[in-house]
Amino acid sequence: MEKGIDMTTRAETAAKIDHTVLSPQSRREDFEAACRFAAENGCASVCVCPFFVAEAARLLAGTGVETCTVIGFPHGTHATAAKVAEARIAMADGATELDMVVNVSKVKDRDWDYVRRDIGAVCEAVHGEGRRLKVIFECSALDDEEKIGLCRICTELKVDFVKTSTGYGAGGATVGDVALMKANVGPDVKIKAAGGIHSLSQLLALEKAGASRFGCSRTAAVLEGLK
């Protein structure tokens, strides 16, 4: 454990982490172990593949840990209607938090009307059920102007979180991207850093830059303060 990290801070840190299992090679035992780990450590949520949402919700019932899944993952190029349908299925299965990937292709085209409609349709469906929506930018594929454009749209639509990365792009969360998001979203939009967070020192640097939620698959290493 890194110097200066006591058990209280460990618990507080765990409560900011979405413990994540999204590899297509994951087996049932991996998803079940993730739910047990998150419940034992008090994580914010477990983020799992859509097909495992119903089982995760059952395993997490009564633990205080949210059930999270991904929409339009990992490239965001699904038709908007497909994203909305996927979100509705996930919520019916028990998902309380949904992480949606923007249509990166449309962002690169600067087709902001399409991007706004795409995010807005999912946001309306998710908020209509009283659930939370996190919008994944895939920052490594975007320039600063594109990131700022997304921040403005997400602020306008009142999404709950903007998120840096899927973890499947060329790069993960960076302090620079989190700081840029923090400077360009409204005060009611929170920031989730995800992708490549392997240590407590990384997490703390991202938190200092403005993130308040973190997506980690190596949560045990982060909480133990390992390099």
Catalytic-role residue among 83, 163, 177, 190: 163
- 8 Å CB contact between 158 and 130: no
Summarize the chain as % helix, strand, coil (round to 5).
50, 15, 35
Taking the CB of residue 208, how many other CB atoms lie within 10 A of it? 11
> Would you call 208 a catalytic residue per the annotation?
no
> Would you call 3 a catalytic residue per the annotation?
no
The full 3-state SS of 145-199, as one line of letters, equals HHHHHHHHHHHHHCCCEEECCCCCCCCCCCHHHHHHHHHHCCCCCEEEEECCCCC
Catalytic-role residue among 83, 106, 190, 192: 192
Q: Rounded to an integer, what distance in angstroms lies between the CA atom of residue 128 and that of residue 143? A: 32
> Would you call 192 a catalytic residue per the annotation?
yes
Give the CA dihedral 197, 178, 125, 65, nearest 10 degrees. Answer: 40
Catalytic-role residue among 18, 83, 93, 99: 99
Q: Rounded to an integer, what distance in angstroms lies between the CA atom of residue 227 and that of residue 216? A: 15
Residues that are catalytic: 99, 163, 192
